[in-house]
Amino acid sequence: MIKGPINKENVEKVKALEGIYRKTLVYDNNVMLCFFVLEKDAVVPLHEHEAHQIGYVLKGKIKFMTETREFIAKEGDSYLFDSNEKHSAELLEYTEIIEVFNPTRDDYK
């Protein structure tokens, strides 16, 4: 359990996928906050997880796809994926996002 305060500059980034970097900031057993840096043209393949996922785009532009919808999120936009909702993404430009997961993702600790 990491409760903070935590400054993202003091957290080492983890390479999640090619062009996808994560900094897990704070979390407890119920909720987790992560910061992501995503390089232009990177791809997040179709996946699902138990955690609900809420995101906010700090800068950049990202295209999301689910089984039923497709949308582009840009700076200032927020979004939500339900538990076990399959989703993927394509990075249209260099992007930074903040995401909240509930419950906490053990694989991101």
CA gap 63, 46 in Å, rounded: 13
pLDDT tens for the chain, 109 residues: list them.
777 799 999 999 999 999 999 999 999 999 999 999 999 999 999 999 999 999 999 999 999 999 999 999 999 999 999 999 999 999 999 999 999 999 999 999 9
CA gap 58, 34 in Å, rounded: 12
Domains, in order of start, for the chain = 8-104 (2.60.120.10)
Sign of CA dihedral 48, 81, 109, 13: positive
Q: pTM (2 decimals)?
A: 0.93
Long-range (24+ apart) CB contacts under 8 A made by 12-16 are: 13/37
Total residues belonging to the chain: 109
CA gap 67, 13 in Å, rounded: 30
